[in-house]
């Protein structure tokens, strides 16, 4: 599951660490849920 999460963050933002952790978590968590729905 962590690999999927990293793949999502790397695909959308090359440097997610530079963004606020809270913002990254919220956005990527939403994308993560949408991706699971598609699967």
Q: How far is CA 38 from CA 9, 20, 32, in A?
A: 17, 27, 10
C-alpha–C-alpha distance, residues 21 and 18, integer Å: 8
What's the structural domain count of the chain?
Answer: 1
| pLDDT for the residue 14 | 55
**Domain assignment of residue 12, given as a range:** 2-38
Give the pLDDT confidence score for residue 29 in this predicted structure: 80
The pLDDT, as a whole number, for residue 16 is 52
- Residue 2 — pLDDT band, cuts 50, 70, 90? confident
Rounded-to-integer distance, Cα 39 and Cα 37, Å: 5
pLDDT per residue as tens digits for the range 8-34: 666 655 555 555 666 667 778 888 878
């Amino acid at each position: 599951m962590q690999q999927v999460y990293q793949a999502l963050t790397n695909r959308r933002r090359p440097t997610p660490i530079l963004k606020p952790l809270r913002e990254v978590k919220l956005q990527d968590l939403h994308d993560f849920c949408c991706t699971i729905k598609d699967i």
